[in-house]
Amino acid sequence: MNGRDEMRAGDADREAVAERLRAALNEGRLDLAEFDERLQRVYAAKTYGDLGGLLNDLPPVVPAGQSQLAPILGGGLPAELTAGPDGRYPAATRRWLADQWDGYGSAVGITIAIWAVICVMSQELLYFWPGWVAGPWGAVLLVTTVLGLMNGEPQKWAAKQAQRELTKREKAQRKQIERESGEQGPSHA
């Protein structure tokens, strides 16, 4: 044991080891139970030596450019839900705009179709009431879109979407582990 192993570890050191364990879990190198056990030991660790022992059986992280493995970004998330090296999500603005304006086009299209059918059935051109749906709603959407773009809302929205997807996948993974452990049943020696 060298002198460094006996030195006190800080929160940043513990968090770095916890992040490496999360990566190992996402890579399939640790199962959820072992990850949980090691994570508890990480946050209880007092010295560098305590932390070092938790990663001994894991291969070192190889930079993506030197890796021979195909990269899995963000724990297997699609590229649009994975932040790039600059911390920004690709195509976040386009996806946010589509999400914001999603219902508007179909609702306005339906109201115009209803208006057109009524005009055909009555055989006269009636007052264009769909404008009362399209106009105010469109104005509100336009204002919220401009304000959202000015405040960086697309990136915040993309980060929330990515977090939601990660949470969903973690829940599914836990359920799978529970199912598998339930199928094995208690072991009798």
Cβ atoms of 179 and 113 closer than 8 Å: no
Mean local confidence (pLDDT), 148-163: 88
Q: Which residue has the higher pLDDT, 116 or 20?
A: 116
Q: Looking at the DSSP assignment, which residues form a beta bridge with residue 47?
A: 8
The pLDDT score that the predictor gives to residue 68 is: 44
pLDDT for 3 beyond 80: no
Beta strand segments in the chain, E? none
Cα(first)–Cα(last) distance of the chain, in Å? 39
Answer yes or no: is pLDDT of 67 > 80.
no
Residue 180 has a CB neighbour count (10 Å cut-off) of: 10
| pLDDT > 80? residue 79 | no
The per-residue pLDDT for 110 is 95
Domain ranges, ordered by start, for the chain: 1-71, 78-189
pTM of the model: 0.47
